[in-house]
């Protein structure tokens, strides 16, 4: 029975890491299609934020999770903000590669504590039990959400750019649309 469970868990882990790889490939593709000016230009459709800011924000969550392995505690609110990620498209591309390597090495079955604060004051954060697997899934969904916003900004800044199929679309939405078309 244990071998079946281990095999099942390994399949889940492979699927999650494959999803991260696909997201990073899509982001890399887009980053290679735009220029530095488009990367740093504020978008009216994005309330003045830039493609680079959304890329930075998304990648920092993955980085924050990876860095939490030493302590077993992750707090996305307290992540290190790397402004160079939003200013340098080439640095963002390099970061995708190094983050992917780090994520592949992570022991995602370990337990961890997620610290967060929903208040706007400086109240103490609350702690929630989680694990790296669950947080990696959260990071995937979070990145997809920001990719949808990036796509909106790209349509404004570079309307001729074609994004990869499924860019910024949840997998469940893609499956639903495919089933609807088959019916």
* Domain boundaries of the chain, sorted by first residue: 2-182
Decide if pLDDT at 2 tops 60: no
pLDDT at 91: 97
Q: What's the token pair of residue 149? A: 């916003």
pLDDT, tens digit, 9 for 90 and up, residues 8-42:
577 888 899 899 999 999 999 999 999 999 999 99
pLDDT at 74: 97
- Rounded average pLDDT over 157-168: 92
Helix 89-105 to helix 51-67 angle (10° resolution) is: 30
Who's near 107: CB < 8 A, 6+ residues apart?
69, 132
Decide if pLDDT at 1 tops 60: no
Strands laid side by side in the 73-74 sheet: 73-74, 111-116, 126-131
pLDDT at 53: 98
Please state which CATH number belongs to domain 2-182.
Answer: 1.20.120.450
Decide if pLDDT at 81 tops 60: yes
pLDDT, tens digit, 9 for 90 and up, residues 111-147:
999 999 887 666 788 999 999 999 999 999 999 999 9
pTM of the model: 0.90
How far apart are the C-alpha atoms of 61 and 69, rounded to whole Å? 13
């Amino acid at each position: 029975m244990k071998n079946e469970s281990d095999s099942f868990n390994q399949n889940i882990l492979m699927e999650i890491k494959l999803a991260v790889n696909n997201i990073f490939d899509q982001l890399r593709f887009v980053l290679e299609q735009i220029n530095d000016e488009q990367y740093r230009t504020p978008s009216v459709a994005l309330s003045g934020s830039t493609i680079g800011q959304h890329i930075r924000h998304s990648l920092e969550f993955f980085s924050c999770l990876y860095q939490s392995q030493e302590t077993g505690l992750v707090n996305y609110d307290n992540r290190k903000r790397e402004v160079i990620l939003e200013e340098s498209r080439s640095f963002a591309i390099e970061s995708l590669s190094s983050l992917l390597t780090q994520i592949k090495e992570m022991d995602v079955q370990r337990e961890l504590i997620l610290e967060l604060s929903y208040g706007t004051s400086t109240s103490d954060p609350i702690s929630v039990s989680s694990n790296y697997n669950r947080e990696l899934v959260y990071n995937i969904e979070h990145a997809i959400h920001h990719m949808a916003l990036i796509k909106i900004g790209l349509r404004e800044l570079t309307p001729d750019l074609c994004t990869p199929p499924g860019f910024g679309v949840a997998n469940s939405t893609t499956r639903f649309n495919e089933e609807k078309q088959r019916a």
